[in-house]
Amino acid sequence: MSDAPVQPPALTVLYDGACPLCRREIGVYSRLRPLNADFPVCYADVSDAKIHLPPGTTQQQLLARFHVQTGTGELLSGARAFLALWAALPGWRYLALAGRVPGVPWLMERVYRLFLRGRPALQRLVLRLERH
């Protein structure tokens, strides 16, 4: 048995596994190997009551928006969370690089907030399509 300390994942993606849109998106991401094997990406379904939540958060808060937690414990939300995840994944890194352009993260956050308003209707539509 090794006495080496266990290194936390570079990112822990906190997602709503009860959301059909979120499940599909996370399915795409989780099939990819992170660009740097030394900094793994883990996925935690916060709709599962057994999942340990980051300190100072609630399940309701984490289900309302997309979050990632960095290896240092920083909790990122919305566009910042997507940019951090995309930076770690092949094929998505270019979007993360675009997010470095001044003003782009602000614009992405506004678009994400608009998406969140329509998310319940989109969820219902996807659930209906899955039943057929």
- pLDDT tens by residue, 118-128: 988 888 888 88
**What is the rounded CA–CA span in Å between residue 16 and residue 107?**
23
Residue at token pair 């602000």: 106
Indicate the domain borders of the chain: 11-131
Per-residue pLDDT at 9 exceeds 90: no
**What is the rounded CA–CA span in Å between residue 21 and residue 11?**
21
DSSP 78: T
Please check whether residue 105 is in contact with residue 1, taking contact to mean a CB–CB distance below 8 angstroms.
Answer: no
- Burial classification of residue 79, based on how many CB atoms lie within 10 Å of its CB (0-12 exposed, 13-18 middle, 19 or more buried): buried
The pLDDT value recorded for residue 37 is 79
Q: What is the pLDDT of residues 11-37, one digit of tens each?
A: 999 999 998 889 999 999 999 999 887
